[in-house]
């Protein structure tokens, strides 16, 4: 039987009263005096609790004939969310051209300051950190394919060899040259754990994290470590180190925007958050 409208429970009303963004997507509320339904985080003036009913979704709100709020856009992406999603896509697909906060502002339709604030809040890292993550990911791929350190560095937008060595030390866990050589002489410790999208492997050296990767299969992850660091001494930890485990728990928390995006984008964001948490 389909659940009908219900008066707000204490828990749901607390979410509405706090304008709790984390509750967005779990339910919508209807202001009976206006017949408008909203997200829990809606910034509009709060109606009296006695004039509110809770529905499970925006779809149910539409089906029952209520109107969507034009401030919080409960049935679609709000303008700020759409702008952040556009910026995410631009970074993920645009490393062949210069990317700045100003260029992302044009793509997103948000002012630079507003984009910086909303992106950091919704994604969990700043636009710059997410861009750096993608630069590093592409650099790794070029180095593994045999590209020289200088060629790979300039191809992904680092302005000089010095810059790539300064900015990738902790993120690679080793120098670019050693990474290109299959991590020769390095000891790489790694561990795996479950995440909402499958399994994750985290690996690191004494200098810092050198790998964060999500896959559906445990066997694939172990093989990935061996392929990426063929000349390293590999040590599998039976238990994930405390620092890694803490980051893993924190980085799995998602803004409601991310739950609306494709799984590959969500995994990408998670990996960027892990890199940031473990390499700064």
Tell me the three state secondary structure of residue 22.
Answer: helix
Confidence band (pLDDT; 50, 70, 90) for 4? low
Q: How confident is the model at residue 33 (pLDDT cuts 50, 70, 90)?
A: very high
Segment 184-224, tens digit of pLDDT? 999 999 999 999 888 999 999 999 999 999 987 777 888 99
What's the mean per-residue pLDDT of the chain? 92
- CA 112 from chain center: how many Å? 20
Q: Do 243 and 193 fall within a single domain? A: yes
150 & 53 share domain: no
The pLDDT score that the predictor gives to residue 198 is 86
The share of the chain scoring above pLDDT 70, in percent, equals: 99
Q: Once rounded to an integer, what is the mean pLDDT over residues 30-56? A: 95
Per the CB < 8 A criterion, the answer to whether 112 and 263 are in contact is no
Query: What pLDDT does 6 receive?
Result: 76
* Exposed e or buried b per residue across 30-65, where buried means at least 16 C-beta atoms within 10 angstroms of its C-beta: bbeeeebbbbbbbeeebbeeeebbbbeebebbeeee
| Over residues 91-103, mean pLDDT | 89
**Residues 183 and 266 occupy one common structural domain:** yes
Q: Is the pLDDT of residue 104 over 60?
A: yes
167 and 252 in a single domain? The answer is yes
**Residue 176: Cβ within 10 Å count:** 23
- Using CA atoms, how far apart are residues 104 and 108, in angstroms rounded to an integer? 6
What is the pLDDT, as a whole number, of residue 68? Answer: 97
Share of the chain above pLDDT 90, in %: 81
Residue 233 forms part of a structural domain: yes
Tens of pLDDT, residue by residue over 157-182, are: 887 788 888 877 778 999 999 999 99
Q: Is residue 134 predicted with pLDDT exceeding 50?
A: yes
* Residues 6 or more apart whose Cβ sits within 8 Å of residue 201: 190, 191, 192, 211, 212, 213, 215, 221, 222, 224, 225
pLDDT tens digit string along 221-275? Answer: 889 999 999 999 999 998 999 999 999 999 999 999 999 999 999 999 999 999 9
Q: 84 in a domain, yes or no?
A: yes
Question: Which tokens sit at 260?
Answer: 């609306």
- 275: exposed, middle or buried (C-beta count within 10 Å: 0-12, 13-18, 19+)? buried
Q: What is the pLDDT of residue 1?
A: 42
Q: What integer pLDDT is reported at residue 220 of this predicted model?
A: 85
Helix (H, G, I), strand (E, B) or coil at 211: strand
User: In the chain, how many domains are there?
Assistant: 3
Beta strand 67-68 pairing with 187-195: unpaired
Q: In this structure, are 206 and 264 located in the same domain?
A: yes
Whole-model pTM: value is 0.88
| Final residue in a domain of this structure, among 47, 68, 89 | 68
The whole-angstrom separation of Cα 11 and Cα 219 is: 42
Q: Which domain holds residue 25?
A: 10-68
CA angle, 203 then 200 then 127, to 5°? 85
Nearest to 101 by CA among 113, 93, 89: 113
């Amino acid at each position: 039987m389909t659940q009908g409208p219900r008066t707000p429970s204490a828990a749901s009303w607390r979410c509405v009263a706090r304008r709790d963004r984390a509750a967005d997507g779990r339910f919508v509320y209807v202001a009976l005096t206006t017949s408008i339904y909203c997200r829990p985080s809606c910034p509009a003036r709060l109606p009296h609790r006695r004039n509110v009913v809770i529905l499970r979704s925006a779809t149910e709100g539409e089906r029952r004939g209520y109107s969507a709020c034009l401030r919080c856009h409960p049935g679609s992406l709000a303008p700020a969310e759409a702008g952040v999603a556009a910026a995410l896509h631009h970074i993920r697909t645009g490393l062949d051209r210069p990317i700045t906060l100003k260029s992302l502002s044009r793509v997103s339709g948000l002012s630079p300051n507003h984009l910086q604030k909303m992106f950091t809040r919704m994604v969990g890292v700043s636009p710059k950190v997410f861009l750096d993550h993608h630069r590093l990911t592409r650099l790794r791929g070029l180095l593994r394919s045999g590209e020289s350190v200088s060629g790979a560095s300039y191809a992904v937008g680092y302005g000089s060899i010095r810059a790539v060595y300064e900015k990738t030390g902790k993120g690679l866990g080793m120098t670019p040259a050693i990474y290109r050589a299959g991590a020769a002489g390095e000891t790489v410790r790694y561990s795996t754990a479950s995440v909402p999208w499958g399994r994750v492997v985290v690996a690191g050296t004494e200098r810092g994290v050198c790998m964060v990767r999500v896959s559906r299969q445990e066997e694939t992850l172990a093989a990935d470590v061996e392929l990426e660091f063929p000349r390293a001494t590999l040590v599998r930890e039976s238990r994930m180190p405390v620092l890694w485990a803490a980051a893993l728990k924190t980085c799995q928390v998602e803004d409601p925007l991310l739950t609306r995006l494709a799984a590959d984008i969500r995994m990408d964001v998670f990996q960027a958050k892990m890199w940031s948490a473990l390499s700064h």
